[in-house]
Structure 1
Amino acid sequence: MRASGKLLAMGAALVAAAAIRRAFTLPQRALPDPAPAPDVSQTTLARMTRPSVDAHPGLSGVYLLADGPEAFATRMSLARQAEKTLDLQYYIWRGDRTGTMLLEEVLDAADRGVRVRLLLDDNGIDGLDQVLFALDRHPRVEVRLFNPFPVRWPKVLGYVFDFPRLNRRMHNKSFTVDGQATVIGGRNIGDEYFGVADGPLFADLDVLAIGPVVDEVATQFEAYWNAASSFPARLLLRRVGPRNLRRLRKRSSIVERDPTARRYLKAVRDLEIVRQLAEARLPMEWAKVSLLHDDPGKALGYLKRAEGSDARLSGLLENAIGTPKRELAIIAGYFVPGKRGVANLRALRARGVEVSILTNAYEATDVGAVHAGYAPYRRQLLRAGIRLFEMCDGARQAPSRRERRKGSRLGVSGRLRGSGSGSASALRAGASTLHAKTFAVDRQRLFVGSFNFDPRSIDLNTEMGIVIESPLLAGLVADAFDDVVPENAYEVALSEHRGLIWKRPDLSAPLRREPGMGLRDRLAIGILKRLDIEWLL
């Protein structure tokens, strides 16, 4: 009996193990036959943009979107302009006010006959499974999930059984309409990115672009859409009926009746950019623009750092921007340079290159672990002569009188200046967390994208962004470190005793303790600093 009992127990354990393995195994990936690509050459958007594009051969038109409501309005306006195709690619899409309103625009576009393709990283769609499955049932909509979790709830279990794969995410962000216009940059889809959240708001930066770079974005989208990590949503999501589409429309109507959402929508409708887009008179900077992106195979661990610059964005960036000769200005919400990054920045400084960095102060960050990865490198950067700024919690600091005066002076050309200041200009709206990822080189080239200056962006996540060869825009970002940034951020420096101090124009004396950090915070960050987690950040 004992032997038979052991055999039964062993058999039960094997059966349970096999069941668990099946539960955490991805379904067989079956893709539908691709339909012919729609002809987008005669759409209204094509006719609107063609004269300007033809007048600037080889160049792309770009307009920087630093203001959250303006960034949302641009997406809504473009979605309403769509006649043939709508290709959307995002790391996070929330089911909140702005996320719901944009999903309804997507559904309306499909109802008009627009082919909609929605590619979402599966880590950033909490609570949307039923809505996305219902959308996928629409004959003009196809939803695919990148690097999906086989078990839908709780998703965290997937990390237990398949951590090496699921720890790699698609961080790319693009919104492309009729193959004629695209929005790319740092923003995900959610209230905090568009200035409507009840909690912290993100200072962020996107680029609206037309011209040749749109074709490059479309090619990038196709590569990810057909990548081995992209799975049709219907293979993974729980089947639901068409009533969920009706619920989406009902949910949107509820959102629009919400007082906060109603005020936000009115402000969006009043924005000049909506009319400028509709009337094809948006002032754009025309420049040579290049798209850089990781090969989607990076999400499967196929690409290693040593494999060269043709498949990884970090290597492509080094080739595209060259070696800074005079000036490097970095704005990064998540800045974890690591030993290699610090060595590179110190080498630049040793050659006489002026280096300025803006990242989040502890009181402004939304990820404490990232601060623990960044903080140990501050003294090394400062000793090398690098200027280091940490963004204040915007909810605690109102714009200065000088900033209000400066903002009121901005005209049409100033719109470029306000946007050019990038995430720093967004502080005027009371943003509390820096989320933008941009840097300017020698006042000649500007990078805007999803790439964070951290090990995760370099080695784990897939990323994308553009290099804009524009002295105007690059110079404006560099200039922000002389005017906008010092008035909205702490300047970190070394005291006479080589300790850290935090300075700000409105403070009577420098702070000698880290702003916003209490005893429990210091203990938690101290523990995280001692753990080997930098490679995860």
Structure 2
Amino acid sequence: MATLFLTACQLPPRASIEESYALPTSITKATTLGSAVAEQTAQHPGQSGVHILADSQQAFASRIQLVQGAEQSIDLQYYIWRFDNTGSLLTNELVKAADRGVRVRLLLDDFETTGMDAQLSRLHQHANIEVRLFNPFVMRSQKWFGFITDLDRANRRMHGKTFTVDSSVTITGGRNIADAYFGATDEFIFSDLDVLAIGPVVDDVQQEFDAYWNSKSVYPIDLIYTPDDPLAGSEPVSAIVRSRSNNEHAGKYKAAATESRFLEKLVKNELQLTWASTRMLSDDPRKGLGKARDSAQLYPQLEQAISEAQQSLYLVTPYLIPTASGVEILKTLAARDVDISILTNSLAATDLAIVYAGYGKWRQELLEAGIKLYELRPTDAQLDEEQEPAGSFSLSPGSSLHAKAVAIDGQKLFIGSFNFDPRSANLNTELGFMIESPELARDLGQLFDSRVRKRAYRLTLDEQGDLVWIEHQQEQVLTYNKDPETSWCRRSYVWFMSLLPIDYFL
């Protein structure tokens, strides 16, 4: 009986899975996007053109328009893809693209697909759409059981995000595909950041996508899920997602996508691009099986770049768990008089209080080393009337920080999916761009000077060495001696979790 039970919890054989790869440049360069990109790239040998997608509506509109302009291929790699307002609109555009002959490959991490099997399976049945899942769970409705039967594999998730069209244009960064990441909801939203790129780095992203798509951690959804209804698949593919066309948020985002001239500007060489040497940092997909070499992982490369800082380091991360080794790196830099500023979520703003438990224990040591710590405030009435500066990611009232970025010496800027925590370093697979652009690196520093100090608590130590939160509110300076805007229960929960040896999993 035990043998039968364990067999039922095993993944199916992969022998029947066919490999597929990015289309050759002879095909993609003949597309409208490919031709326009090739012409622009030829003027900047060895460099990639990058464009920061800070505004949430424009980040969504750019994706919609790229899908609408696709002629040959769309390759998508995401940790989360919801069928809500934005996800439904984007999925419907993918179906339309597939209907006109565009090949669509959708690679999703399986942890966040609960309840979506029927829709994803129906998408997969389209002749031009294939859906694959990274580290899938055999038990579809009770995925928690996979952590009991196969913890080491189930605990390793694909967290990188890429959105590539006609092998010519790509988008990566922190945003998943869901309303909270595009500000399309009245509920919880994230302040996030993406970067669009054309040029040589797109080839690197395509190779990375192919490596994941064909890796041993990935399975087509039809090997994992069988519809209960024998007639499933007879309905139109466009009917797999709920209609979201008649609500306020969907209408606003459809209008933003329609009114945007993003695609037109990109094709006509009118989109503001920063041309710079741009390197992709990513984890080998074998990390999903615990088999990647250290040299084939993102974190050692990013750590090396940070360790070489000589003047300044600005770090933005929603989940900060530096661990003992990370604290030593930062303290070593501070001892060399490197000016270090870090922005993360406050306990009131974070969506994962348990992660805050892994961060709180290091604050005092960081502050004693002279490192500046800022924690994003969740609310502030005065901010409603302030206009976001061009190029900055939103730090709007009621939002939680989700952007991940590092600026080094005002020369290099990293934007990606990597959170500065043990999970990103050791368990999840991540991806990002290291952009050698003084202009963009300085922008992040200016963000701290102009916005962060207004919109975040500054942490410091009082004369007794105790933590103090300082808030600048119009003409007032407010001081708190405990996590502001939090309840006793939330603080107690964080304190208790901080006593447990769980940092590695956070």
TM-score grouping bracket, smaller chain normalisation: over 0.9
TM-score w.r.t. the length of structure 1 is 0.89
- Structural mapping, 1:31-180, within 5 Å: 31-32=17-18, 34=20, 37=23, 39-180=27-168
SS at match of 1:86: strand
Amino acid at match of 2:283: D
CA offsets 1:80-112 (integer angstroms, 9 cap, x no match):
111111000001111211111111111111111
Which among 270, 273, 292 is matched to residue 284 of structure 1? 273
Q: CA deviation at 1:34?
A: 3.9
- Give the aligned partner of residue 372 of structure 1: 357
The alpha-carbon distance between structure 1 residues 385 and 485, as it changes in their structure 2 partners (threshold 3 A), is: same
Q: CA deviation at 1:233?
A: 1.0
- Give the aligned partner of residue 298 of structure 2: 313
Distance (Å, rounded) in 1 between the aligned partners of 2:110 and 2:38: 36
Matched, 1:236 2:204: no
Distance (Å, rounded) in 2 between the aligned partners of 1:127 and 1:220: 28
Quote the RMSD (CA, aligned, Å). 1.9
Matched, 1:193 2:181: yes
The alpha-carbon distance between structure 1 residues 245 and 61, as it changes in their structure 2 partners (threshold 3 A), is: farther
Distance (Å, rounded) in 2 between the aligned partners of 1:245 and 1:65: 39
SS at match of 2:478: coil
Distance (Å, rounded) in 1 between the aligned partners of 2:221 and 2:19: 16
- Give the aligned partner of residue 443 of structure 1: 410
Q: CA deviation at 1:272?
A: 4.8
- Give the aligned partner of residue 257 of structure 1: 246
Amino acid at match of 1:154: Q
Q: CA deviation at 1:158?
A: 1.2
Greater Cα shift, 25-34 or 192-201: 25-34
Amino acid at match of 1:28: P
Aligned length: 500
Matched, 1:536 2:505: yes
- Give the aligned partner of residue 290 of structure 2: 301
- Give the aligned partner of residue 472 of structure 1: 439
| Structure 2, unpaired ranges of 5+ | none
SS at match of 1:483: helix
Distance (Å, rounded) in 2 between the aligned partners of 1:71 and 1:245: 34
Distance (Å, rounded) in 2 between the aligned partners of 1:438 and 1:354: 16
Which among 492, 499, 503 is matched to residue 523 of structure 1? 492
Distance (Å, rounded) in 2 between the aligned partners of 1:98 and 1:350: 46
Distance (Å, rounded) in 1 between the aligned partners of 2:240 and 2:123: 14
Question: Is this contact kept in 2: 1:135–1:245, CA < 8 A?
Answer: no
SS at match of 1:426: coil
Structure having the higher Rg: 1
Distance (Å, rounded) in 2 between the aligned partners of 1:342 and 1:245: 57
Q: CA deviation at 1:263?
A: 2.5
Q: CA deviation at 1:501?
A: 1.3
Greater Cα shift, 251-260 or 224-233: 251-260
- Give the aligned partner of residue 182 of structure 1: 170
CA offsets 1:4-25 (integer angstroms, 9 cap, x no match):
xxxxxxxxxxx2x223212210
Q: CA deviation at 1:163?
A: 1.1
Q: CA deviation at 1:51?
A: 2.1
Question: Is this contact kept in 1: 2:307–2:329, CA < 8 A?
Answer: no
- Give the aligned partner of residue 9 of structure 1: none
SS at match of 2:276: strand
Structure 1 outlier segments of 4+, above 6 Å: none
Greater Cα shift, 32-41 or 88-97: 32-41
Amino acid at match of 2:247: D
CA offsets 1:418-465 (integer angstroms, 9 cap, x no match):
22x3xxx3014x351001111000000000001110000111111111
The alpha-carbon distance between structure 1 residues 245 and 88, as it changes in their structure 2 partners (threshold 3 A), is: farther
Distance (Å, rounded) in 2 between the aligned partners of 1:431 and 1:471: 31
Amino acid at match of 1:534: D
| Structure 1, unpaired ranges of 5+ | 1-14, 411-417
Which among 496, 499, 518 is matched to residue 463 of structure 2? 496
Distance (Å, rounded) in 1 between the aligned partners of 2:214 and 2:381: 46
Question: Is this contact kept in 1: 2:159–2:417, CA < 8 A?
Answer: yes
- Give the aligned partner of residue 348 of structure 2: 363
SS at match of 2:362: helix
Distance (Å, rounded) in 2 between the aligned partners of 1:134 and 1:73: 25
Question: Is this contact kept in 1: 2:95–2:237, CA < 8 A?
Answer: no
- Give the aligned partner of residue 220 of structure 1: 208
